[in-house]
């Protein structure tokens, strides 16, 4: 990932989205969830370790679950409430995709609802910029202006990958702000 403070924030954000996308290329849906949560958890660890190092040189980070790391980062004001909620919903998606039950894929209404909620929470300037970029592509015949259009265009799986790349880049920005 790119942590260079000298880069323009939009360029760094976009490059980190691309790096994430390369890491999950050629993975099935379940593998995407597992790799994504590992990447996000690693960044959460880094956030907590940097903050802990600012307070004490001797203190060590205890073993914690993904959701505990998310909550602790929020309570320590390392991430904002929208990012916390995003990470919590993503944790629910990971649980859906790592269960052995057959009905835990994109056809499941709960999974679809979580994905749409992730899109709405992350409906920000970057999201809108990417929609504009998609719309500016000459090969795109129809214009996409909202989340439902995007899901229809790139599918549930593509939407999850897209949102995960935004989540990852957002966490990296939180880490850069802290350092």
Spans of all domains in the chain: 9-178
Q: What string of pLDDT tens digits covers the 179 residues of the chain?
A: 888 888 888 888 888 989 999 999 999 888 999 999 999 999 999 999 999 988 888 878 889 999 999 999 999 999 999 899 999 999 999 988 887 766 668 888 888 888 888 877 776 666 666 666 666 766 666 665 666 677 777 888 888 888 888 889 889 999 999 88
Length of the chain: 179
Calculate ∠ Cα 45-78-75, nearest 5°: 95
- The pLDDT score that the predictor gives to residue 70 is 96
Query: What count of Cα atoms within 13 Å lies in the side-chain half-sphere of residue 27?
Result: 18
Q: What is the pLDDT of residue 37?
A: 94
90: exposed, middle or buried (Cβ count in 10 Å: 0-12, 13-18, 19+): buried
pLDDT at 129: 65
Burial string for 92-124 (b: 16+ CB within 10 Å, else e) reads: bbbebbeeeeeebebebeebeebbeebbebbee
The pLDDT value given to residue 99: 77
Burial class (CB in 10 A: 0-12, 13-18, 19+), 10: exposed
For position 142, what pLDDT does the model report?
63
In 3D, which of 73, 4, 80 has the Cα closest to residue 19? 4
Give the model's pLDDT for residue 146: 64
Q: Note if the pTM is more than 0.95.
A: no
Nearest to 42 by CA among 174, 171, 178: 171
According to DSSP, residue 131 is labeled H
């Amino acid at each position: 990932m790119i942590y260079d403070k000298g880069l323009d924030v939009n360029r760094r954000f976009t490059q980190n989205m691309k790096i994430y996308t390369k890491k999950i290329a050629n993975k099935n849906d379940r593998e995407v969830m597992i790799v994504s949560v590992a990447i996000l958890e690693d960044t959460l660890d880094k956030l907590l370790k940097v903050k802990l190092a600012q307070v004490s040189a001797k203190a060590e980070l205890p073993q914690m679950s993904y959701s505990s790391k998310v909550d602790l980062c929020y309570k320590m004001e390392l991430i904002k409430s929208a990012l916390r909620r995003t990470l919590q919903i993503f944790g629910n998606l990971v649980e859906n995709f790592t269960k052995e039950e057959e009905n835990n894929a994109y056809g499941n209404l709960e999974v679809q609802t979580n994905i749409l909620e992730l899109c709405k929470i992350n409906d920000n300037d970057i999201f809108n910029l990417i929609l504009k970029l998609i719309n500016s592509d000459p090969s795109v015949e129809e214009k996409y202006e909202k989340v439902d259009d995007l899901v229809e265009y790139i599918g549930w799986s593509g939407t999850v990958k897209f949102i995960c790349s935004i989540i990852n880049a957002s966490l990296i920005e939180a880490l850069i702000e802290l350092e």
